[in-house]
Amino acid sequence: MLDVLAIAAHPDDVEQTCGGTLLSMAEKGYRTGILDLTAGDMGTRGTPETRVAESQDAAKILLAQYRGNLHFPDARLENSMPGRMTLAARIRELKPRVLILPYWEGRHPDHYRTSEIGYEACFLAGLKKLDQYTEPHRPFKILYASIYANVQPSFVVDISAQFERRMSSLLAYRSQYGETKDGQDLFPDEAEIRERLAAIARFYGNLIGTKYGEPFVVKETMRVDDVVAMGVRSI
């Protein structure tokens, strides 16, 4: 059973969007996991086998208790019943209390398809009669990682203490971010990657008065029980 499960389209998506949050939760004692829907087999760089192996190395840096890959077709993700059923079965097995999905709009179709498939699979996973051999389960909370979406976040997680290790987990994908001639016109070098991601994380950290942050969106209203204990000052 996991406390937090992040589902993404490709290996290295989680490391970019919510890796710091997963690491922070793991350091607080929560059981965290990552499930990639594809192995990124249509990517310009690397092979599916290499990327899956690199994802396991990255997961160790993030202290994830679990990392899996469903090997759905990269760049051809479809919100189909077989796909939803497969993912629903995995959700029933892992029983996450909190699920992190990609934001529901984006440039890459696989990303917003993953959001759709993930949400609908959660609904199916809660149906008692879906499968007589596994117990129904729905996550209590669904969060949408919105770091690349031009939207107002519902909240931001302070990842100042985790940012450098989040970067290390991303750069564990040497096939994608190491020195290579493949796709040089498409991929920035390592120094540029560090600068870009640091700038984005600094922006969101600044919103909450910290050095680095990761933003999230939720569809429901957030509840506050103690207004005196609320963080982030107004003036």
CATH superfamily of 4-229: LmbE-like (3.40.50.10320)
pTM: 0.95
- 142-146, 167-171, 231-235 — which is least confidently predicted? 231-235
Q: What mean pLDDT is reported for the chain? A: 95
pLDDT of residue 186: 66
Average pLDDT over residues 119-147: 96
- Domain coordinates in residue numbering, the chain: 4-229
Higher pLDDT, 132 or 137: 137
Confidence of residue 184 (pLDDT cuts 50, 70, 90): low
Transcribe the chain into DSSP letters: --SEEEEESSTTHHHHHTHHHHHHHHHTT--EEEEEEE--TTSSSS-HHHHHHHHHHHHHHTT-SEEEEEEEPTT-----HHHHHHHHHHHHHH--SEEEEE-S--SSHHHHHHHHHHHHHHHHHT-GGG-TTS-----SEEEEE-TTS-S--SEEEE-TTTHHHHHHHHHT-HHHHSS-STTTTTS--HHHHHHHHHHHHHHHHHHTTSS-EEEEE-SSPPP-S-GGG--S---
